[in-house]
């Protein structure tokens, strides 16, 4: 009978072949079908994670995995009941089902029929058939869950977030990327700010809301009041938030990374609000915010000078803005100014003179810089990463 996880062949053979390099694996794979399958076995026996194709799997494999200390499992494809994994590995700590497009509420419901106290990490990214029904199961039986990935699960609604807020009080990381039905009401549930009986996920430290188009500044108000332990917030591509929302975020003292990439309604005024608050941000990304200009760099120098990473790709900044910022940014390690077409050699010279701790800089598409400015940048003592894509030079200046 065909199998795609080599579970019908001796495990010792698979262990031996796991020590071979690619060339030797190719040689033993030519001996017979059994050796071929064993040589390209998908399980990482010497580690703590197994990557499996669940098609015609032998259920007896999973207790064997657990006996070997395997606690983290990634399912690469799913054509058989997920319950085999859960029943065979009662002490599983991490389950990655990312991209299992045929996983349904029914399949997940058959797998989660009792509490699994050991499970801490669950990745359902791009499992597009999953709905709020599955989140009810998760909230009921996975109460110790700390990380939940739901990116691309486009059928999730505010009701699902209410269920999460009701049952997953230990959750520290939640990814809701491109969950298009999620609105301010759902974020209110997570933050414990609605009239529902849900306490909320008040221990959240990492929250990704990328491309959640229904969110407005009210969501940011809920976040600032309820999710006070939040450290990383990703709001990229959230077109409904504005400068006014930054007022709510400006006093979140635990927040150290904020991503506002491609938030079209964020301008210099928004960064002014952030800079005037009590934030201690380490990372800020306002790339592709068309209304961000040199004034933002002045605000950053005044109130966000502790930044270690700053991304301004495709913003309307110039050498003048660089001049207003660099003297205060002594801790900056990464600067991304790709496609800032107004930056010239003068700006690079200012960076080279003052940002002496810089380890990485993106100059992709900065078409006005020349070899002279580049030579100054390469003299930075800590520089390790330099991106020069689309850097235009004359024939005489071209170097490799």
Segment 53-76 shows an average pLDDT of 67
Q: 233: left (phi > 0), else alpha (psi -120 to 50), else beta?
A: beta
Enumerate residues 6+ apart whose C-beta is below 8 A from 97: 75, 78, 82, 103, 122, 123, 124, 127
Q: Using H for helix, E for strand and C for coil, what is the string for 262-314? A: CCCCCEHHHHHHHHHCCCCCCEEECCCCCECEHHHHHHHHHHCCCCCEEECCC
pTM: 0.84
CA distances from 367 to 84, 245, 294, 334 (A): 57, 34, 18, 20
Enumerate residues 6+ apart whose C-beta is below 8 A from 239: 213, 263, 264, 265
Segment 314-338 shows an average pLDDT of 97
Q: What percent of the chain has pLDDT over 70?
A: 81
DSSP state of 151: T
Q: Which of 63-67, 287-291, 340-344 has the lowest mean pLDDT?
A: 63-67
User: Measured between alpha carbons, how far is 75 from 99 in angstroms, rounded to an integer?
Assistant: 9
pLDDT category of residue 395 using cuts at 50, 70 and 90: very low
Q: Helix, strand, or coil here: 207?
A: strand
pLDDT at 211: 98
First to last CA, the chain: 55
Among the listed residues 310, 367, 366, the one whose alpha carbon sits nearest the alpha carbon of residue 336: 310
pLDDT at 23: 67
Q: Is the dihedral of CA 243, 248, 249, 250 positive or negative?
A: positive
CA distances from 156 to 234, 325, 347 (A): 18, 42, 46
- φ, ψ for residue 8, nearest 5 deg: -95, 0
Q: Which domains does the chain have, with CATH numbers?
A: 1-46 (1.20.1280), 49-241 (3.80.10.10), 248-399 (3.80.10.10)
**What DSSP letter does each residue of 60-98 carry, written as one string?**
THHHHHHHTT--EEEEEEE-S-THHHHHH-TT--EEE-T
Q: Apex CA 358: angle with CA 269 and CA 398, to 5°?
A: 105
pLDDT category of residue 276 using cuts at 50, 70 and 90: very high
| 309 CB-side CA count, 13 A | 10
User: Measured between alpha carbons, how far is 142 from 121 in angstroms, rounded to an integer?
Assistant: 10
């Amino acid at each position: 009978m065909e199998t795609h996880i080599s579970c019908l062949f001796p495990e010792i053979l698979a262990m031996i072949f796991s020590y071979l390099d690619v060339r030797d694996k190719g040689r033993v794979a030519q001996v017979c079908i059994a050796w071929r399958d064993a040589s390209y076995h998908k399980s990482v026996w010497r580690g703590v994670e197994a990557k499996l194709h669940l098609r015609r799997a032998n259920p007896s494999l999973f207790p064997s995995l657990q006996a070997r200390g395997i606690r983290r499992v990634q399912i690469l494809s799913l054509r058989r009941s997920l319950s085999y994994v859960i029943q065979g590995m009662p002490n599983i700590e991490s389950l990655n089902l990312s991209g299992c497009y045929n996983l349904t509420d029914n399949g997940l419901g058959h797998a989660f029929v009792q509490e699994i106290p050991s499970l801490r990490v669950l990745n359902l990214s791009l499992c597009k058939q999953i709905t709020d029904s599955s989140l009810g199961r998760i909230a009921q039986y996975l109460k110790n869950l700390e990380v939940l990935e739901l990116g691309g699960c486009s059928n999730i609604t505010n009701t699902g977030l209410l269920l999460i807020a009701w049952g997953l009080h230990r959750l520290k990381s939640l990814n809701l990327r491109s969950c298009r039905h999620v609105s301010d009401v759902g974020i209110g549930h997570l933050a414990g700010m609605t009239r529902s009986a849900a306490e909320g996920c008040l221990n959240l430290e990492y929250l990704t809301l990328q491309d959640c188009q229904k969110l407005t500044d009210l969501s940011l108000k809920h976040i600032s009041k309820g999710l006070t332990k939040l450290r990383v917030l990703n709001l990229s591509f959230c077109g409904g938030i504005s400068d006014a929302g930054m007022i709510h975020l400006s006093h979140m003292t635990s927040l150290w990374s904020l991503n506002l990439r491609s938030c079209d309604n964020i301008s210099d005024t928004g960064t002014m609000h952030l800079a005037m608050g009590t934030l201690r941000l380490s990372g800020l990304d306002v790339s592709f915010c068309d209304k961000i200009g040199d004034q933002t760099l002045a605000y950053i120098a005044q109130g966000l000078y502790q930044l270690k990473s700053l991304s301004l790709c495709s913003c309307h900044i110039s050498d003048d803005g660089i001049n207003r910022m660099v003297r205060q940014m002594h801790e900056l390690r990464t600067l991304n100014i790709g496609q800032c077409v107004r930056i010239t050699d003068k700006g690079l010279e200012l960076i080279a003179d003052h940002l002496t701790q810089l380890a990485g800089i993106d100059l992709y598409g900065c078409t006005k810089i020349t070899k002279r400015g580049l030579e100054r940048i390469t003299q930075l003592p800590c520089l390790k990463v330099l991106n020069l894509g689309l850097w235009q030079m004359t024939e005489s200046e071209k170097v490799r």
